[in-house]
A = this chain, B = another copy of it.
Amino acid sequence: MKKRVVIIGGGIGGIATAYNLRKLTKDVQITLISNRPYFGFTPAYPHLAMGWRRFEEITVPLAPLMSRFGIEFVSEGAEKIDPDNSKVFTRSGKEIGYDYLVIATGPKLVFGAEGMEENSVSICTAEHASDARERFERFCKDPGPVVVGAIPGVSCFGPAYEYALMIHHELRRRGLRRKVPITYVTSEPYLGHLGLGGIGRSRRIMEDLFAEKDIGFITNVKIKAVERDRVVYEDLEGKTYEIPSKFTMIMPRFAGPDVVLSAGDKVASPVNGMVLVNRCFQNPTYGNIYGVGVVVFIPPVEKTPVPTGTPKTGQMIEGMAKAVALNIVADINNSPERYTPTLAAMCIADMGDEGLGFLAYPVIPPREWVGSKKGRWVHWAKTAFEKYFLWKVRRGNVSPWLEEVFLEKVLKVKMVEPCDRC
């Protein structure tokens, strides 16, 4: 009988795991559970919020896609995991048994500052981004100060930088820029820290970029409240400040969603409810549970004065998905081979006209190498990659992703490597 692999989550992590499994073997039954009926290309949500993309351009309905590639699709939220009996329960009460479970739900968003949910827009989901777009249009009719930033504990700073730079670009395009002071307010100890202790010269590069674009910044602070017309923050000594803001986007921090917590503290980290995994992204207690994507627990790269977390970029997630698919297939085949993602990554911020990219191998230091590129072609490269990625998702294409080819051929870096410790 075919082994059954259940994947919770239909984002980059879930889809990439499913496609990788399909590519590796026909001899497995794959079930994908998702509380959203579509796959969304997360890196383009800031573009959606800017009105530079339409919802339909960056999403793909999951049901027809899954059926075309022989993947069972359960279109509702997973509510409970019973790891001892290898079962998942959905919200409607459906019980789904598994031989292998891949948790790729993405995070629960924690809007940890007072008034943040009402007064700050968000670009973390397609729905949020669509709402942000409407609010931005209203803002442009009577502009004022803009604040973009991140509360304590945030691990995902890249989109905040990208969004601040996009707002700058869009306001210039509309001839409104000189009416709008833009300020970036962050828990990072310095600009360009990114939850990673910086990547190469990222501090200097971001400081120069913000200076050239007249974007102010306040670092090493805790945002306490987001009000309709201001953002309130606190410095390390506990002194309170406020900065006027008519349009605000503050990144929430990420935690494990309730369905992970339901699996108990052998699966959910007591720190933030994210999935505990070893180097092969396998749960140490339940060997048939794997984690992929933002929902995986990775400790902070370094202790910062205001807490920050380690980001997981799209490319890191694809590496995890590939390693997990290989590990599941090896386990099925009783092979001792195990794989770990190298966590090399290209992270590209699109600024509207030009792009800024950082390359790191691995993302978590010490690093074999790092690099950065800036220019118009980086903007076009990111756009091209988005189109290509969505084309492959639609086709269920299982040939290596473009960036994997780039990494292996040009940079001589593999996305996964054999692991001898798990």
Contact = CB atoms under 8 A, between A and B. Distances in A.
Given A172-B368, A172-B369, A198 B211 contact: yes
A387 interface: no
Contact of A367 (B178, B366, B367): B178
A368 B180 CA distance: 9
**Copies of this chain, tallied across the complex:** 3
Given A204-B208, A208-B204, A181 B214 contact: no
Contacts of A175: 368
Interface string A164-200: 0000000010010111111000000000000000101
Interface in A205-238: 207-208, 211-214
A178 B366 contact: yes
Interface string A51-72: 0000000000000000000000
Interface residues of A, number: 29
Contacts of A157: none
Nearest to A181: B366
Contacts of A208: 201, 204
A207 to B, nearest CB: 8
A362 interface: yes
B177 A368 contact: yes
A161 B181 CA distance: 28
Contact of A179 (B213, B361, B366): B366
A203 interface: yes
A370 interface: yes
Nearest to A180: B366
B211 A177 contact: no
Contacts of A200: 211-212, 214
B370 A178 contact: no
B212 A362 contact: no
Contacts of A178: 361-362, 366-368
A264 interface: no
A369 B177 contact: yes
Contacts of A212: 200-201, 370-371
Interface of A: 172, 175, 177-182, 198, 200-204, 207-208, 211-214, 361-362, 365-371
Given A178-B361, A214-B366, A214-B367, 18 more contacts: A172-B368, A172-B369, A177-B367, A177-B368, A178-B366, A178-B367, A180-B366, A181-B365, A181-B366, A198-B211, A200-B211, A200-B214, A201-B208, A201-B211, A201-B212, A202-B211, A214-B369, A214-B370
Closest 7 CB pairs of A and B: A178-B368, A214-B367, A181-B366, A177-B368, A201-B211, A200-B212, A201-B208
26 contacts: A172-B368, A172-B369, A175-B368, A177-B366, A177-B367, A177-B368, A177-B369, A178-B361, A178-B362, A178-B366, A178-B368, A179-B366, A180-B366, A181-B365, A181-B366, A182-B366, A198-B211, A200-B211, A200-B212, A201-B208, A203-B211, A204-B211, A212-B370, A213-B370, A214-B366, A214-B369
